[in-house]
């Protein structure tokens, strides 16, 4: 019968889920009969007509079972079975002997050669099928198990590769901290061989290591934490660790990623030291500034106060002189005396402004009270009554809030802003609109006029002490807006201006709640 592959297949039997069965008989009609009985099982049947042929096939194929005729010329079934068993590949292949004789001697010899069963002629198809089916199932289960084992092995290989590729030392432990797996970085970091790490308690490396909450098998990725660690030689080092747990059929496993934080700890210590030095220097500088500020404030206060007296004397004496010389002074001398008086009065005014500025700058320390801003604007307008009437000015004021603040600085603030709005008026009668709006951070007040306006390049400049833009046309000290800014800043707020020259200006004041 020669070549015996009777079923042409495209896929390999393993892929198609079929297994191979070898039928060996020197009698072709027997072979055909066996084939006809086993065909309905749907497996791949291979036929051999003598022992030699059967042996050759066993070298090339793995069979789920071999049906071996006992009586064959040249090499009988038993001899063939002996040779099959002698080969590694077919050592475990189940052999069923087919025989017409039911003798104990044959049975004994057959079982001794590793036969798993005997089939006696005449063959009962159902019995043959069900016996062979057992081996088919066995082979299938075996194949399945092998495949699973291969899958597992490759998954483990992938897992180990990932572990090795990790930038940190990785240690996998059970709940008690006993190390199950470690990557090569862990060896390097701790100075142990990997074999020495496996089975060891992680606490000998990281004494403060704790198992993450076991009631939470899939906790969110844990935050990094700093722990003290020990190398094999006992030397300590700071370690940055992150833990993650995962549930396996063998229980909870914990992956701990460990990084040597020595450099980081050094850098942190250095930063801390620099910060401390900086803080110390800032404190020293602040103290020095506070000292010189206080000295300057005292000097400005003393100067503005002590200069009052000599100025008053200059004014009084120049007035006496003009009275004494009544009628005898020429117009030139009279003018000179009047100029002395005027400038002395102006000096007095400037010193007054300076004192007010210093007072306002110091007012922030006082406790806040409840201030009705409507009343504040009324008080400011009352103080400016004459100016308002003289200029035919109109004041429109929206309802304003009641806030926690200081009344006096607020009155000074509104008074300065309203008086400026009138002073720096245009040809039109002054119209001043006051409004307030609430924002998340506090209140913003707006004082809008229809005056001559301010060039944007001076928006910041005008808030400085003695800064004036229209000094020659309008009287003033140039301190009003500086006082406003000092008052607002002392209350924790901010003042700024928006303006279009020729149209008018709006001063905004924001005060925190
Ligand atoms: P003073 O009014 O005494 O000169 P301020 O400090 O109050 O001093 O104002 C500084 C300068 O800002 C003023 O000299 C003026 O040129 C300009 N200024 C202030 N308020 C207004 C305004 N509402 N419209 C136009 N210019 C103004």
CATH of residue 188's domain is 3.30.450.20
Has residue 151 been placed in a domain? no
CB of 24 closer than 6 angstroms to any ligand 1 atom:
no
CATH code: domain of residue 372 = 3.30.565.10
CB of 480 closer than 6 angstroms to any ligand 1 atom:
yes
Do the Cβ atoms of 140 and 17 come closer than 8 Å? yes
CB of 467 closer than 6 angstroms to any ligand 1 atom:
yes
Has residue 237 been placed in a domain? yes
Has residue 272 been placed in a domain? no
Whole-model pTM over 0.75: no
Averaged pLDDT of the chain = 88
Residue 441 CA to ligand 1 centre (angstroms): 28
Residue 223: what pLDDT?
A: 67
- Counting residues of the chain whose pLDDT is more than 70, the rounded percentage is 94
What is residue 475's three-state secondary structure?
Answer: coil
481's tokens: 């807006």
- Apex CA 457: angle with CA 453 and CA 460, to 5°? 90
Instruction: Tell me the per-residue pLDDT of 331-350, one tens digit each, with 9 for 90 and over.
Output: 888 888 889 988 888 888 88
Q: Note whether 46 and 128 are same-domain residues.
A: yes
Residue nearest to atom 7 of ligand 1 (CA): 480
Can you tell me which residue has the tokens 């303006």?
Answer: 499
Q: Note whether 397 and 492 are same-domain residues.
A: yes
Residue 482 CA to ligand 1 centre (angstroms): 10
Q: Note whether 24 and 141 are same-domain residues.
A: yes
Do the Cβ atoms of 55 and 77 come closer than 8 Å? no
Please determine, for residue 14, whether its predicted confidence score (pLDDT) is greater than 60. Answer: no
Q: Which of 362, 387, 402 is the last residue of a domain?
A: 362
Ligand 1 pocket: which of 350, 469, 508 to mutate (most atoms within 8 A of CB): 469
Q: Which of 337, 362, 387 is the last residue of a domain?
A: 362
Residue 219: what pLDDT?
A: 53
Has residue 442 been placed in a domain? yes
Residue 12: what pLDDT?
A: 47
- Counting residues of the chain whose pLDDT is more than 90, the rounded percentage is 53
**361: pLDDT confidence band, cut at 50, 70 and 90?**
confident
Residue nearest to atom 25 of ligand 1 (CA): 453
Has residue 301 been placed in a domain? no
3-state secondary structure 382-438: HHCHHHHHHHCCEEEECCCCEEEECHHHHHHHHHHHHHHHHHCCCCCCCEEEEEEEE
Phi and psi (nearest 5°) for 246? -145, 145
Q: Note whether 104 and 223 are same-domain residues.
A: no
Residue 427 CA to ligand 1 centre (angstroms): 17
Q: Note whether 17 and 131 are same-domain residues.
A: yes
Quote the distance between the C-alpha of residue 140 and its chain's center: 52
Residue 478 CA to ligand 1 centre (angstroms): 7
186's tokens: 């862990």
Find the mean pLDDT for residues 460-471.
89
Residue nearest to atom 23 of ligand 1 (CA): 421
Residue nearest to atom 1 of ligand 1 (CA): 478
Has residue 282 been placed in a domain? no
CB of 113 closer than 6 angstroms to any ligand 1 atom:
no
**Closest of 356, 350, 410, 344 to residue 380, by C-alpha:** 410
Residue 432 CA to ligand 1 centre (angstroms): 15
Q: Note whether 379 and 358 are same-domain residues.
A: no
Q: Note whether 350 and 427 are same-domain residues.
A: no
**220: pLDDT confidence band, cut at 50, 70 and 90?**
low
Has residue 288 been placed in a domain? no
Question: Residue 416 CA: which ligand 1 atom is closest?
Answer: 7
Tell me which residue range forms the domain holding 338.
308-362
Find the mean pLDDT for residues 363-373.
82
Residue 214: what pLDDT?
A: 59
Q: Note whether 319 and 219 are same-domain residues.
A: no
Residue 173 CA to ligand 1 centre (angstroms): 77
**371: pLDDT confidence band, cut at 50, 70 and 90?**
very high
Q: Note whether 95 and 135 are same-domain residues.
A: yes
Do the Cβ atoms of 260 and 282 come closer than 8 Å? no
Q: Note whether 138 and 182 are same-domain residues.
A: no
Rounded distance between C-alpha atoms, residue 135 and residue 155, angstroms: 30
Has residue 271 been placed in a domain? no
Residue 312 CA to ligand 1 centre (angstroms): 27
CB of 495 closer than 6 angstroms to any ligand 1 atom:
no
Residue 194: what pLDDT?
A: 75
Other beta carbons within 10 angstroms of residue 464's beta carbon come to 12
Ligand 1 pocket: which of 395, 452, 468, 486 to mutate (most atoms within 8 A of CB): 468
**Closest of 318, 345, 311 to residue 333, by C-alpha:** 318
CB of 356 closer than 6 angstroms to any ligand 1 atom:
no
CB of 463 closer than 6 angstroms to any ligand 1 atom:
no
**266: pLDDT confidence band, cut at 50, 70 and 90?**
very high
Ligand 1 pocket: which of 420, 451, 473, 477 to mutate (most atoms within 8 A of CB): 420
Q: Where are the alpha helices (DSSP H) in 23-66?
A: 28-38, 51-60
Instruction: Tell me the per-residue pLDDT of 41-71, one tens digit each, with 9 for 90 and over.
Output: 999 999 999 999 999 999 999 999 999 999 8
Find the mean pLDDT for residues 194-213.
88
Contacts of 124 (CB under 8 A, 6+ apart): none
Ligand 1 pocket: which of 462, 473, 484 to mutate (most atoms within 8 A of CB): 462
CATH code: domain of residue 52 = 3.40.50.2300
CB of 411 closer than 6 angstroms to any ligand 1 atom:
no
Please determine, for residue 7, whether its predicted confidence score (pLDDT) is greater than 50. Answer: no
Q: Note whether 17 and 63 are same-domain residues.
A: yes
Instruction: Report the domain count for the chain.
Output: 4
Please determine, for residue 498, whether its predicted confidence score (pLDDT) is greater than 60. Answer: yes
Q: Note whether 190 and 243 are same-domain residues.
A: yes
Ligand 1 pocket: which of 481, 484, 507 to mutate (most atoms within 8 A of CB): 481
Q: Which of 340, 362, 384 is the last residue of a domain?
A: 362
Residue 475: what pLDDT?
A: 84
Question: Residue 451 CA: which ligand 1 atom is closest?
Answer: 24
């Amino acid at each position: 019968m020669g070549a015996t592959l009777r079923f042409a297949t495209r896929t390999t039997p393993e892929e198609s889920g079929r297994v191979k069965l070898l039928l060996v008989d020197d009698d072709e009609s027997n072979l055909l009969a066996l084939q006809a009985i086993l065909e309905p099982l749907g497996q791949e049947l291979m036929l051999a007509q003598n022992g030699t042929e059967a042996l050759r096939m066993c070298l090339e194929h793995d069979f789920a079972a071999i049906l071996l005729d006992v009586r064959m010329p040249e090499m009988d079934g038993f001899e063939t079975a002996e040779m099959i068993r002698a080969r590694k590949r077919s050592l475990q292949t189940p052999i069923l002997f087919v025989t017409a004789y039911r003798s104990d001697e044959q049975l004994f010899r057959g079982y001794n050669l590793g036969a798993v069963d005997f089939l006696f002629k005449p063959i009962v198809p159902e019995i043959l099928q069900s016996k062979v089916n057992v081996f088919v199932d066995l082979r299938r289960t075996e194949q399945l198990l092998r495949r699973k084992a291969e899958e597992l092995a490759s998954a483990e290989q992938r897992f180990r590769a990932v572990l090795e590729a990790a930038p940190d030392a990785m240690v996998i432990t059970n709940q008690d901290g006993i190390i199950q797996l470690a990557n090569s970085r862990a060896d390097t970091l701790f100075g142990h061989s990997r074999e020495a790490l496996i089975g060891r308690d992680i606490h000998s490396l990281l004494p403060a290591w704790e198992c993450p909450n076991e009631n939470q098998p899939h906790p969110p990725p844990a935050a990094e934490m700093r722990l003290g660690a020990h190398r094999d030689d006992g030397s300590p080092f700071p370690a940055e660790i992150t833990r993650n747990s995962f549930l396996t059929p063998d229980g909870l496993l914990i992956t701990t990623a460990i990084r040597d934080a020595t450099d980081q700890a050094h850098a942190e210590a250095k930063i801390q030291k620099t910060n401390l030095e900086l803080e110390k220097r800032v404190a020293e500088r602040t103290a020095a500034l506070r000292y010189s500020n206080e000295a300057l404030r005292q000097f400005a206060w003393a100067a503005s106060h002590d200069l009052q007296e000599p100025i008053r004397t200059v004014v009084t004496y120049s007035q006496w002189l003009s009275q004494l010389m009544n009628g005898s002074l020429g117009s030139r001398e009279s003018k000179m005396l009047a100029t002395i008086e005027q400038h002395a009065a102006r000096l007095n005014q400037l010193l007054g402004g300076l004192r007010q500025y210093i007072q306002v700058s110091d007012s922030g320390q006082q406790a806040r009270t409840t201030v009705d801003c409507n009343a504040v604007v009324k008080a400011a307008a009352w103080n400016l009554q004459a100016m308002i009437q003289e200029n035919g000015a109109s004041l429109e004021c929206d309802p304003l809030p009641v806030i926690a603040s200081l009344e006096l600085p607020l009155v000074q603030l509104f008074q300065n802003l309203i008086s400026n709005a009138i002073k720096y008026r245009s040809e039109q009668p002054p119209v001043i609109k006051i409004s307030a709006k609430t924002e998340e951070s506090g209140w913003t007040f707006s004082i809008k006029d229809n005056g001559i306006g301010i060039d944007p390049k001076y928006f910041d400049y005008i808030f400085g002490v003695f800064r004036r833009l229209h000094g020659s046309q309008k009287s003033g000290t140039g301190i009003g807006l500086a006082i406003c800014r000092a008052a607002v800043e002392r209350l924790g707020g901010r003042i700024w201006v928006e303006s279009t020259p020729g149209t008018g200006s709006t001063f905004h004041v924001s005060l925190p709640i």
